[in-house]
Amino acid sequence: MARIEGIRIQNYRALHDVTIGKTFEHQNGDPLPHMIAVIGPNGAGKSTLLDAFGFLGDSLANGVEEACDRPHRGGFERLRTQGVKGAIKFELYYRQEQDERPISYTLHVGADKTGRPFVEKERFRQRRTTYGQPYSFADFRSGSGYAWAGESSNETEGTDKVPVELDDRRRLAITSLGNLSQYPRIVKFREFLEGWSLSYFRPDLARGMPMAGAQRHLNVGGDNLANYVQFLEKEQPARFRRVLSEVSKKIPGIKTITHKRSEDGRLLLQFNDRGYADPFYAQNMSDGTLKYFAYMLLLEDPHPAPLIGIEEPENGLHHQLLAPLAREMRKKAREAGGPQILVTTHANYFVDGLTPEEVFVLSKDKDGFSTITRAADDQQVVGMVQDGIPLGSLWYSNHLGGGNP
């Protein structure tokens, strides 16, 4: 499964120039781990960082103009860092498979004379197999460029290099070329990017009664929770029993969870509580119970997204559930074929379940721009963790920095 080794984001709101992990231009960094937690004070840019990943996915699906104009983004000028005149820039450094050479994907989104956003630059780079020098196997500037057909058999500028003119410079080149078999590396990247899942689970949506019908994945808001339960219970009974076992250990009183079909064909999520003859339904369960149940189900997806992003999973959960949840996430992320998981959090108890290599601290400089550091780069912090002090406790006592004043 493809994994992100690093990302650089420039001119995206408070993220004027932020790099995490290893990129094509920053080879000295360590590749991002399978489990990533971003912490920091309010307003430091945690939500913006997660939304930057969402922007890339939205740009692939709908084009950069529509991605900018999503209601929570408010248009290109509101997205671009204040005082900056250049493009919004991304460099995503990823490895398709563990034994393959990493690939750099660059995207620059600028504004034309009328203020409408367009794809100013889009490029794929990879080092040659022979002497290690980089080359671009796809390069576009304002809709005009080239892409190499095939799997770079000779890596020279010969017949594999195909000129391409795009008919809409507000759409990514990978939107079109990623559907053509002659560009296999671009196809794989499109599939990788399309597979990302950003979870903004809302218990109020999960309390709805969707039409019956099994669904293979939990969606962004969680309103298909009952459908996903139906799928796991039928198709993956061992995984579903494992979730029930974990939930019953952590949530007092829960005995079984199942679904029931109403007379009009809708699904009711049914919770059977010890000591009560009649079941409770999702509409009567607490936010925390639904949320913990949903996260445990998400981690048991038999075909998980390559990247799962979760914003503040601690909301509504008892503090004693947070470190076990973090450990369960990192366990799944480290499994063969498991997802890469990116979490933003304010909860020191969640951070207690992680290692310094997995925790990144966002803060703001005096100029108002975000900076990011890795907990593992502070040797004093590493030493205290090795001495048995939980990492979240160190953050709570401000040893990691980035605290609110």
The structural domains of the chain, with segments of one domain joined by +, span: 3-29+46-197, 199-304
Give me the pLDDT at residue 133, please.
74
Say how many C-beta atoms besides its own lie within 10 A of residue 125's C-beta.
18
Task: Work out the burial of residue 303: count CB atoms within 10 Å of its CB; fewer than 13 is exposed, 13-18 middle, 19 or more buried.
Answer: exposed
List Cα–Cα distances, 357 to 53, 215, 384, 391, 401, in angstroms: 21, 35, 14, 11, 16
Name residues whose C-beta falls within 8 Å of residue 370's C-beta, 6 or more positions apart in sequence.
14, 15, 16, 18, 44, 45, 48, 362, 363, 364
Please state the separation of Cα 107 from the chain's center in Å: 18
| H helix or E strand, kind and range, residue 126 | strand 117-127
Query: Would you give the distance in Å from CA 70 to the centre of its chain?
Result: 18
Using DSSP's 3-state secondary structure scheme, residue 29 falls into coil
| Separation CA 26–CA 397 (nearest Å) | 32
Residue 45, pLDDT score: 94
What pLDDT shows up at residue 168? Answer: 95
Residue 27 main-chain phi, psi, to 5 deg: -80, -10
- For residue 405, the model assigns a pLDDT of 47
- Which stretch of DSSP H or E encloses residue 81? none
Which of the 8 DSSP states describes residue 89?
E
Architecture of the 3-29+46-197 domain: 3-Layer(aba) Sandwich (3.40)
- Percentage of the chain with pLDDT > 90? 69
Query: Mean pLDDT, consecutive 10-residue segments, the chain of 405 residues?
Result: 96 97 91 97 94 97 97 96 95 94 96 96 88 85 93 57 93 94 94 95 86 90 90 89 83 73 77 64 77 91 95 92 94 95 96 96 91 95 96 92 56
**Strands 161-165 and 144-148, sheet pairing:** antiparallel
Q: pLDDT tens digits for 336-363?
A: 999 999 999 999 999 999 999 999 999 9
Q: Taking the model in full, what pTM does it have?
A: 0.91
Largest CA distance in the chain: 75
d(CA 13, CA 81): 4
DSSP 245-300: HHHHHHSTTEEEEEEEE-TTSBEEEEEEETT-SSPEEGGGS-HHHHHHHHHHHHHT
Dihedral angle computed from the Cα positions of residues 208, 326, 73 and 104, in that order, rounded to the nearest 10 degrees: -130
Instruction: Name the residue among 299, 327, 337, 342 with its Cα closest to residue 6.
Output: 342
